[in-house]
Amino acid sequence: MRVFTYERASSIEAAARAAASSPTAKFIAGGTNLLDLMKLEIEAPTHLIDINTLGLDTIEKTPEGGLRIGALVRNTDLAANDIVRRDYGLLSRALLAGASGQLRNKATTAGNLLQRTRCPYFYDTNQPCNKRQPGSGCSAIGGFSRQLGIVGVSDACIATHPSDMAVAMRALDAVVETVKPDGRRHAIPIAEFHRLPGDTPHLETVLEQGEFITAVVLPAPIGGRHIYRKVRDRASYAFALVSIGAVIQPDGTGRVAAGGVAHKPWRLEAADAELAKGAKATSAALLADARPTEQNRFKIDLVERTLGSVIAEARG
Amino acid sequence: MKFDTPATTNPIDQLKVVGQPIHRIDGQLKTTGRAKYAYEWHDTQIPYAYGYPVGASIAKGRIRSMDVAAAQTAPGVLAVVTTLSVGDREKGKFNTAKLFGGDEVQHYHQAIAVVVAETFEQARAAAALVKVDYAVEAGAFDLKEAMKTAEKPAESQQPDTAAGNFDDAFASAAVTLDETYTTPDQSHAMMEPHASIAAWNGDEVTVWTSSQMIDWWRSDLATTLDIDKEKIHLMSPFIGGGFGGKLFLRVDAVLAVLGARAAKRPVKVALPRPFMINNTTHRPATIQRIRIGAERDGKITAIAHESWSGDQPGGQLETAVAQTRLLYAGANRMTAMRLATLHLPEGNAMRAPGEAPGLMALEIAIDEMAEKLGMDPVQFRILNDTQVDPEKPQRPFSHRDLVGCLKLGAERFSWDSRGRPGARRDGNWLIGHGVAAAFRNNLVLPSGARVRLNREGIVTVETDMTDIGTGSYTIIAQTAAEMLGLPLDKVAVHLGDSRFPVSAGSGGQFGANSSTSGVYAACVKLREAIAAKLGFNSADVVFENGEVRSGNRSVPLSQAAGEQGLVGEDTMTWGDLTETHQQSTFGAHFVEVGVDVATGESRIRRMLAVCAAGRILNPITARSQVIGAMTMGAGGALSEELAVDTRRGFFVNHDLAGYEVPVHADIPHQEVIFMDETDPMSSPMKAKGVGELGLCGVAAAIANAIYNASGVRVRSYPITLDKLIGGLPEIA
């Protein structure tokens, strides 16, 4: 861990300005991912702006009938919220499938969206990694890639986004609300929030330096069966090999997003359109451009089979 | 005392304390945080400094130069010691790869420097500033490739064994099996990292560390540092798990001692978690070929087991064929082991080395063979039981009740409810049952102890025996209490200190039986001293209720001790009973699994182990050992694998997020039954080891249950869903 300075933010705007003033400043909320990465010097911010003092920890109904989730609402509180459990069961289930009770108590809604990949080569500073050290190469390609991405990958990076919550947010069409350093407010649809790796895997979201997430807004509830199915080698406390977040209506139509397969929560309109036809068609559309490695080719079957199980559960 | 004739009736047989279900006597210290582990010795008067290790970033090569200028001038830094600055050093007797010293890099994360600073954070930050110029060399990292050039190791490792004529018998057998199985590299992944504190006082050094074997560590530390062994005081009273990973001197102790010398301060060094994987040892991967031939009636006529494993140059075999020499009958048999050179980190002992990976393969093969024969796998095992060493039929087992374990286990588990492969279902779960035999040899090592009686009537046991979470404190206290007729609260036990008599230490499941036998021997000496002092005839003296009695005279022990107290000290040594009789431990594991019909996720639903391991000294601590081992077996079956990067030569998943050991949610109800037996050939305690037996066969029982559930036979561990889904039913 490198030396850094620290301040407690006095306001959202002040925090955004402070973060914008240095390219190596970072916000810290729960710190469940950032602190680990700082210890390994994968992250080396020179200035930390602690935003835990700013409130932003309430869940409120929006005039449109949706829900505004404060950026600092802890994962535990979000998963346990009555409205979330009733109207957005997918989100509650996804949250509870992630991490551990202790981590969820600290982890925040905004921080969850911003957590970084768990690719083991990203975590080992002796190994080349374009995400950690742009231009150094990707050691995961041709290496141990069982856990890594199969779709939307590039020659520079095959990392996955590790979040469960984000998969649910993607299926629910959440919108990320931000304040830019100049004070302007901004709304980013979750579909556009995370980037694909391309040639710049170190750029993971569309946020500008200093741009501050204030809330994540869910549209009005859409009904349907909410199912989150996380597939992993052990029963708890493991990142998804594959996860499926789905909202399925009585007529079989709906939405489906997948985790553990891409650099972002993976959802395609073309795949949603196939949902009523069943898992095979939907999975084929969802993974149409898949480029798996030898080690993670099984994820293609696994997505289809898991989706089949989810659809069966929705029908049953 | 030398144990060279089978035990007859002795004071242990009273079983007033020994054999009783007593909670561990150090439990309260542990649950209240007062048991001090290696890194936790902290005296506020002492200005500890903190050492942080630097590991090699390449797998093989040489260090041309190191630039430590930035590290040396970083805030708080007191000293930087590098592998170049200390130069080539003699290697410890028990180490294969060198721990520190010289310019050669033998494996990834081999220690190349330690940075000592005022705070841990300063040391860690400065360690990241060390710059190294390497001359990288190519290495061998892929066992599948390296096995082609594997060699036959020295005869002392018994690479080849044979009896009868395997080839002819196999060729003419009515039913045959010829399959290859693989087991991956595995990590001990113990909770407590390797950690040490070193403090110099003149030319003497005290080292608090986490060691299973005090004397081995002390000797190898002396060799590595070229210090007189007598000048080293080693302490390891509490250990947060070892599993074999702390049998042999590790670099945290070396770096702490060198760092403390350089910084002229007591220094603490803990290995970071990734170092546990690539700096220390691991259980080596194996490739195993098994051939079995049998008559139609199920009698095995031919059995062969070959195994390939790899290690650093000068390293050792993973003796995966060991159990196959002894577990089943069959007149014609052979085993062979070959060793490949690999430049991965050092392979070495992990809980039940040999038998654990060997049974992972053999007990699937037996299941497959039973199926080919159309026999129940429990019956097939019973049919092929042997009461003698199959290679030397004149040599009997000391006591062997594998059949009893299988029968009782089958009854308790309701084995007869097992269905055909792929036939049973519970919602989305395919349900299967599996069984495997457990087998682990019973080893004994010399073990010493000193027992003091003071004028308060308190008995204090001192031995350098270690308690790696197994319950050594408790069973040693029970032994002394039984021998001297005292309640447990009149016995104090001090362990893990090099000033105490050298014991067996903890490993190879020899610790419990050997160390309590050493305490038995010392207690016999103390009983004699007490009798002599009182002028009692030691032949008819009785120790009971805190008193020593002879005829109608009785004296309280406190009084017998006198002002000066009395001491008994002895070492148990062993005659040839382990040669005349094969001493082993036996068991049967029964497992029920569910396999998700869609995803192929396998989850264990219940587990039963039946163990025959001689006298059980304490059913609570023994059960704890077995359920822990069953848990480790669950990991071995389902998730634990060190992923080798065969290009870069290291284990990639080097943390506890990537190397997945079971979590609570993976472990269902576990039932353990101990057969009520004694083995008078094993020791005066009539006990044998159980800590490794509990692991042996577990993974195969799970593998067989997965097959029974899904109809998919997987011969490559761990049995992850990607190996199953291709064979599962279509999902609509």
Burial of A129 per CB tally in 10 Å (0-12, 13-18, 19+): buried
Nearest to A114 by CA among A2, A190, A15, A62: A190
Global pTM reads 0.98
DSSP single-letter state for residue B283:
B
| Separation of alpha carbons A147 and A134, rounded Å | 22
Q: What is d(CA A294, CA A150) in angstroms, rounded to the nearest whole number?
A: 10
- What is the average pLDDT across A42-61? 97
Strand residue runs (E) in A232-290:
242-248, 254-259
With a CB cutoff of 8 Å and minimum separation 6, the contacts of A67 are: A59, A60, A61, A83, A84, A87, A88, A217, A218
B692 an active-site residue?
Answer: yes
The per-residue pLDDT for B667 is 97
Residue B442 — pLDDT band, cuts 50, 70, 90?
very high
The pLDDT confidence band at residue B732, using thresholds 50, 70 and 90, is low
Structure confidence by residue, pLDDT tens digits, B495-523: 999 999 999 999 999 999 999 999 999 99
At B539, is the pLDDT very low, low, confident or very high (cuts 50, 70, 90)?
Answer: confident
Distance between CA B605 and CA B577 in Å, rounded? 41
Cα gap A310→A300, rounded to integer Å: 16
**For residue A214, pLDDT beyond 70:** yes
Give the integer Cα–Cα distance in Å for B227 and B239: 25
Average pLDDT over residues B523-540: 93
Tell me what the mean pLDDT of segment A24-30 comes to: 97
User: Token pair of B199, please?
Assistant: 């403090």
Strand order, beta sheet including A47-50:
A5-8, A47-50, A25-28
Name the average pLDDT for chain B.
97
Phi, psi of B634 (to 5 degrees): -65, -40
Which of B318, B391, B692, B730 is labelled catalytic?
Answer: B692
The CB-side HSE value for A164 (13 A sphere, CA atoms) comes to 29
The beta-carbon neighbor of B601 closest among A41, A231, A304 is A231
| Contact flag B645-A123 (C-beta cutoff 8 Å) | no
CB distance A234–B731 less than 8 Å? no
Whether A311 contacts A273, CB under 8 Å: no
Structure tokens at B410: 């089958």
Decide if pLDDT at B372 tops 90.
yes
Helix, strand or coil for residue B295? coil
Q: Do A142 and B647 touch (CB under 8 A)?
A: yes
**Hey, are the CB atoms on A124 and B274 less than 8 Å from each other?**
yes
**B274-328, pLDDT tens digit by residue?**
999 999 999 999 999 999 999 999 999 999 999 999 999 999 999 999 999 999 9
Q: Residue A54 — pLDDT band, cuts 50, 70, 90?
A: very high
Instruction: Give me the phi and psi of B399, to 5 degrees please.
Output: -165, 130
* pLDDT tens, position by position, B649-696: 999 999 999 999 999 999 999 999 999 999 999 999 999 999 999 999
Shortest CA gap A177–chain B (Å): 32
Q: How many residues does chain A have?
A: 316
pLDDT given at position B42: 85
Q: Which residues of B touch A241 (CB under 8 A)?
A: 721
Q: Cα separation of B524 and B522, whole Å?
A: 5
> How many angstroms separate the CA of residue B53 from the nearest CA in chain A?
13
A254-271, pLDDT tens digit by residue? Answer: 999 999 999 999 999 999
Mean pLDDT of B545-566: 94
* Dihedral in degrees, nearest 10, Cα atoms B610, B616, B620, B625: -60
Handedness of CA A278, A280, A281, A287 (dihedral sign): positive
**Phi-psi region at A171: left, alpha or beta (left = phi > 0; alpha = psi -120 to 50):** alpha
Q: Which residue has the tokens 């097992």?
A: B418
Nearest Cα of chain B lies from the Cα of A218 at a distance, in angstroms, of 30
pLDDT at B214: 98
Q: Evaluate whether B318 touches B308 at the Cβ level (below 8 Å).
A: no
CB B485 within 8 A of CB B478: no
Mean pLDDT value across chain A: 97
Establish whether the linkage from the previous residue to A120 is cis, with ω within 30° of 0.
Answer: no
- Chain A positions contacting chain B at CB under 8 Å are 1-3, 39, 41, 118, 120-121, 123-124, 126-127, 139, 142-144, 146, 229, 231-239, 241, 278-279, 298, 301-302, 304-306, 308-309, 312
Greatest distance between any 2 Cα atoms in chain B: 87
CA B541 to chain centre: 39
Provide the CA B4 distance to its chain's centre, in angstroms: 26
CA of residue B432 relative to chain centroid, distance: 29
| pLDDT recorded at residue B43 | 86
Yes or no, beta carbons of B657 and A306 under 8 Å apart:
no
pLDDT at res. A316: 83
- C-alpha B505/C-alpha A257 separation (Å) is 54
Residue whose C-alpha is closest to residue B324's, from B298, B286, B289? B289
- CB contacts of A123 in chain B (<8 Å) are 655
- Residue B31's contacts (CB-CB under 8 Å, 6 or more residues apart) are none
